[in-house]
Each structure stands twice: as structure tokens, then as C-alpha cells.
Amino acid sequence: MILDTLAHYSRYTFLGPKFARAFEYLLSTDFSKLEKGKYEIDGKDIFAIVNEYDTVDTAEEQMESHRKYIDIQYMLKGEELVGHDFMLHHQPSKAYDPEADFMLFAEKPLFFSVLKEGMFAIFFPTDLHMPNIKIDKPVPVRKVVIKISVDA
């Protein structure tokens, strides 16, 4: 997992051309003109999901993980806590769903980070994550999640 600001995106383009393309999209897109929804960047290999929601209590959430896609979660507006852990000996509380590309884990995160406007987090398939968590009280958030396929 990686946590940084978009100002430092160039540090991560070495991860490959899909990452370079995803960061290019984040830098060149006027998200104020996009509605909530899914937007193709490069077919099924790279796409964006623009979402808006109110942050919630940890009691309402579980950690998740993906197999087919890497997440770049970029905070457009608001802030939230994101729980993290490493997938070691964790057992899913909800089995992997290949259509939705996720599984859930009931264990509590090992640690939390704050994701503020202008920051992004990258979650690889072995990174358990619990986004959408309130800091002090529920607040509205606008976030884009770029999905990058792990296939070559």
C-alpha cells in the first residue's frame, strides 16, 4: 500500500504504463463536471469510479481486498480514515466474489491513515483496506477510485 499526495505522482509511474495512464487521468480530468458513476480510461484494464457518500463508523464496515484490480483511491473533497492491514493469515468473512472482485474480512485493521483532499492511496491485492470511515463525525466525501487490472 502507498499513501501520498497527487503532487508526488511521478514517484509511482515506475510501477508501469497503467499507473502512468491512471495518474495522467487524475491530473487532466475536471471531476467537478463528472457525475457519480463509472468511466472507462482504457477498457477493462483501467477505469474510474466517481463516488459520493457520508463517512461512517467502523462498526458498519469490514476490510476488503481485490484480486483482479489494484485501487488508486483519490480524495477529491472531504476526508476520511482508511483502515489497513496486510493479508497474512486472515480468513474472509465473505468469500471472494469474482464478478464484483472483492472479499471481506471481519478483523479490525492493524492501523488507520487519514486520507485528505489531494491525497491518494494505492491498494494492491494483498492490502486489506477499510475506507469510508468517519474521523470525528460523518462528513460528505467525493472520491474517485481508479481500478487498474493486475493482468499484463
Q: What is the per-residue pLDDT for 146? A: 98
Rounded to two decimals, the pTM is 0.95
- Closest listed residue to residue 132, CA positions, set 142, 118, 119: 142
Cα distances (Å, whole numbers) of residue 106 to 69, 93, 103: 21, 6, 10
Query: Taking residues 53-60, what's their average pLDDT?
Result: 94
Domain of 95, CATH number, reads 2.60.120.370
Domain count across the chain: 1
Q: Which domain holds residue 131?
A: 2-149
Percent of the chain residues past pLDDT 90, beyond the cut: 97
